[in-house]
Amino acid sequence: MEDWKIKISVLWLIGELVAIVGNMLELYEPGVIEDLLVGEYAGMQITPELMVVMAFLFLIAPAMAFLSLTLKDSVNRWANIIVGIVVTGFGLLTVFEYLAEQSAYSAYSILIEIAWVVVTALIVWYAWKSKQKA
């Protein structure tokens, strides 16, 4: 198996771990657990539809980790480039949101999002470079 596929797969798993850590740390912010107990998250009502969307978002990284090891090279390369660019873009938007918010808890959130952006940018980089080796 090609080295770049393993690197990308591991990076997707690291990205998932970063996301989980960020969500776990969020539970330590004052008021978050109380909001969850009354059925709210980030100012939104928790609904079955929201839970499906959240589940889908959390399943992207592990699915991409698997697909990175199993897809044919050309499809694999483009899937990682496209999905990587999309999630990197959302990560950058989130960094700017936290910078604009400037709450007492923004620092850890910015650090987590920057880690996510670095991981997904590396995924795009390794996928892009992989063509040179093919």
Q: How many domains does the chain have?
A: 1
CA dihedral over 38, 27, 96, 77, signed as positive or negative: negative
User: Distance (Å, rounded) from C-alpha 35 to C-alpha 25?
Assistant: 15
Question: Which of 124, 98, 103, 125 minimizes the C-alpha distance to 113?
Answer: 98
Its domain, for residue 118, covers 3-133
pLDDT tens track for 117-128: 999 999 999 999
Q: What pLDDT is recorded for position 104?
A: 76
CB 93 within 8 A of CB 109: no
Q: How far apart are CA 11 and CA 51, in angstroms?
A: 25
How far from the centroid of its chain's Cα atoms is residue 16's Cα? 6
With bands split at pLDDT 50, 70 and 90, how would you rate the model's confidence at 2? low
